[in-house]
Amino acid sequence: MSISEISNLLSKRDDACPNSSEYNGHMNLRILSVFVILISSAVGIYVPILTNNLKNQSNFAFLKVIFFIARYFGQGVIFATAFIHLLQPANESLTADCLTGVWQEYPFAFAICMLSVFSIYLMEIVTRHYIEKLTGADEGSHGHGHFGAGEIMNKEHLEQHGVDVHECDKASISNVKQEVNDSEDTTSKFDTYDKAEKADYYVTSMDQDEETSDSKYLSYRNQLLSVCILEFGVVFHSVFVGLTLGVVGDEFKTLFCVLVFHQMFEGAACGTRIVELGKKHMKTQILFGLFYSLTTPISIAIGIAVRHSLSMDSLRVNVVSGCFDSVSAGILIYNSFELLFMAFNEYRGNLKMKLLAYFTTCWGVGIMALLGRWA
């Protein structure tokens, strides 16, 4: 190969992955974006946390409706984020023209994503094994969700395990669930299902004294690990989004507007998982919310600080962002399918509520997928 051919090849590679920044001004608007994104992120993640902790302490039915929408809408957001906002951009980054050789010969983005999914799967297998070993119970047959966070055992399940359920409790649960099925008003259904959950929880709590402190601690630690893994996947995506907003050129205004909603919806998705830690760990929920809220604004500020030297299209950034996006996509794919499968056991015997939850999830998927057109 001649010197001129080598020079042309390097020139094409530099054009495909330029090392120069695209920054083109709008400094005041970029600084404003730090605070706007901070507010939208905080609103998104704290609304589910606050409504979940307030809905059982007040008679305002709209709080239950808000949490219902946030939960299932957020479930759809996680699903769309995994495929549209993470896996597809990761594949673009790891197949960029400036990446030659093996990068062009194998779909690394999908392979890394698949590896991430099965790593989380292995982690859950091992974790559940030790939970069952310490508690002496087959947790899998209880239908619990991700790392033990799932549906509450009903009275029939308790009876199968020899738990004495009083006749008055059986009747109260049966009456409440019948009230749900007979109700035609959507708002009242949220109220009556909330009563059913409380009644089931009261019966379930009868055998909580038998649970050892070690198993309780391990169960919480595993729920905490589940939330940490999910937040890891979302946060690394937020870091690269923030850096991009700090240095992007002509697309800045469009990206800024889209990210306001992007961060709010993604925050709602995280918030509905964080509440699984329980009301006793409210401080932990607040810390997770704060971590998410600050990540993107800080990343934007860093992007602004290095605006003249950072290129989000450079070879090194393509490799790093592509790998992290692939890992994050795997984490969110695993979580999203886990949530979909858990939803089968919710609102038993009431098709209307199941369909309402389904279409709310579809709205989350659709709107987040639409935002992928611009960000």
140-177 residue pLDDT tens: 444 444 444 444 344 444 444 444 444 445 455 555 55
Quickly state the pLDDT bin for 206 (edges 50, 70, 90): very low
pTM over 0.85: no
The answer to whether residue 269 scores a pLDDT higher than 80 is yes
Q: How far, CA to CA in Å, does 133 sit from each of 13, 137, 157?
A: 56, 7, 20
Predicted pLDDT of residue 115: 96
Contacts of 270 (CB under 8 A, 6+ apart): 45, 74, 230, 231, 234, 288, 292
The more confidently predicted of residues 326 and 193 is: 326
What are the pLDDT digits (tens) for 216-255? 655 677 778 888 888 888 888 899 999 999 888 888 889 9
d(CA 129, CA 328): 25
What are the pLDDT digits (tens) for 296-351? 999 999 999 988 888 888 888 899 999 999 999 999 999 999 888 888 788 888 88
Q: Residues 313, 251: contact at Cβ < 8 Å?
A: no
Quickly state the pLDDT bin for 132 (edges 50, 70, 90): confident
d(CA 264, CA 196): 31
Q: How far, CA to CA in Å, does 189 sit from each of 29, 194, 364?
A: 45, 8, 22
